[in-house]
Amino acid sequence: MLEIIDIQTMNHVSLRLVSLLTMTFIKGFFVFAVMYFTVLKMKKLSAEFRHLMWFFVICSFLILPFSSVIIPAFDLQVLRVPAEMEEFIEYLILDYRH
Rounded Cα distance between 84 and 57, Å, is 38
User: Is the pLDDT score of 1 beyond 50?
Assistant: no
Structural domain boundaries, residue 32: 8-97
Residue 67 CA to residue 64 CA, distance in Å, equals 5
Q: How many domains does the chain have?
A: 1
The model's pTM is: 0.56
In Å, how far are 15, 75, 76 from 85, measured between CA atoms?
Answer: 11, 18, 18
Q: Is residue 64 part of a domain?
A: yes
Q: What is the pLDDT of residues 56-76, one digit of tens each?
A: 999 988 888 777 677 665 656
Residue 23 lies in a domain: yes
Query: Can you give the pLDDT at residue 16?
Result: 77
Mean pLDDT on 74-90:
63
The answer to whether residue 1 is domain-embedded is no
**Banded model confidence at residue 52, pLDDT cuts 50, 70, 90:** very high
Does residue 52 fall inside a structural domain?
yes
Q: CB–CB of 64/23 below 8 Å?
A: no
Counting Cβ atoms within 10 Å, is residue 87 exposed (0-12), middle (13-18) or buried (19+)? exposed
